[in-house]
Amino acid sequence: MKRTLSLLLLLGSSALAAPVVFVKTYVDGAELLQWTEGPGGQLSGTYQLVAITEQGTRLSTQNAAFTGIRQGGAVSVKFTQTVLGTSSTILWTGTLAAQTLTLNRPQSAGIAFVTFTKGSLAAYNSAVARFQVQVQRQHKAAQQAVQERAAQQAKVEAQTRAVRETNADAAAALSTAAQLRHDVQDDLRALSDVSALFRNDLASLETDQRILLKDAETARGSKDCYDVHTIQGYDLAQLTGYGLSQLTGYDTSELGRAHAAADRDLAAAAALQLTLKSVAQNAAQLQGITPLSTVRWAVDLEALHAAASQVGGWAAQLQEAQAQATAERAGALARAQSLITEAQQVAASLSCAP
């Protein structure tokens, strides 16, 4: 029997009196033939098929009217339908013996023999009602199964998303750490170069001061005004002019730029340490509760912890280098001022005989 699904159609009594009812029941459906018989064995009736289909979630109903004839135990039933002006006829033939009606029904491949049993509309409708309850129960179970599958799929997607995002966060954090390492190395070189500038320019200032002191010894012996004026003019200007401006101007500006870059990288290091620790903590927690993820874990917890420690070490090195460069500047400026003060005193003590 073809399994199709529709709504229950309750059959009432025919307009003709005392219809004869025949029923064929299946596990998942039922068929009904009812007719009234007129003069000469002329039959007029209706046929109905109800069947459970669509994985048991729907009840299908098919109805058709027929005419026919009964001659003793021989029965023939004819169905006529018209589609787009074209009529077609289906003929079932069979035998009626006591309470049993056996019909031969043409199929696409051969003849099907179907046996109906004499029954009642009430019994038939009761069977259809049971099918309807069965369908409703199965439909509810199917809906629940759909909801459960959807919930399960949501869990899979959520866990997969969590793993994918954490993998990406870990990779990004480690990549940022690698870049920060290069940036810190650049900062350390810049601070070291600035410290060298202060030392070199201070050395130049010390050289100029020695020249001034040497010239002053010569001038004291000769009392030559040209020599004295050279010391008090040109030699002293070398110390208080270009030499000092290198320390307080260019060198200090370079130190400021190096400090600014280092400060930016120190802030980045502090933020990165928090990120590395957070990603490692999230990954450690999630790895035990994401069994449904369709993405494999790619987080190296040891690498994250090691990177966090390294970042802290780089920050400490950078802060130490900043402190050293700042101290180098302060020492160079203090020494420069001492040299200048001494030179000024020496120059002021000189006099000449015109």
Query: What distance in Å separates the CA atoms of residue 188 and residue 266, rounded to the nearest whole number?
Result: 12
- The predicted pLDDT at position 354 comes to 66
- The predicted pLDDT at position 17 comes to 56
77: which residues sit within 8 A by CB, 6+ positions away? 33, 43, 45, 47, 66, 67, 68, 91, 92, 93, 94, 103
- The predicted pLDDT at position 283 comes to 95
Q: Is the pTM of this model over 0.75?
A: no
Residue type, 275: T
- The predicted pLDDT at position 108 comes to 82
Residues 75 and 96 sit within 8 Å (Cβ to Cβ): yes
As given in the structure block, the two tokens for residue 276 are 């590395």
Which parts of the chain fold into alpha helices (H)? 121-222, 225-230, 236-238, 244-245, 251-286, 301-348
- Taking every pair of Cα atoms in the chain, the longest distance, rounded to a whole number of angstroms, is 168
Q: Mean pLDDT in each 10-residue stretch from start to end of the chain (354 residues)?
A: 37 56 94 94 95 86 94 94 78 94 90 93 93 92 93 96 96 97 97 95 93 89 83 89 89 96 97 96 93 94 96 97 96 94 92 77
- The predicted pLDDT at position 23 comes to 96
Q: What is the DSSP string of 163-208?
A: HHHHHHHHHHHHHHHHHHHHHHHHHHHHHHHHHHHHHHHHHHHHHH
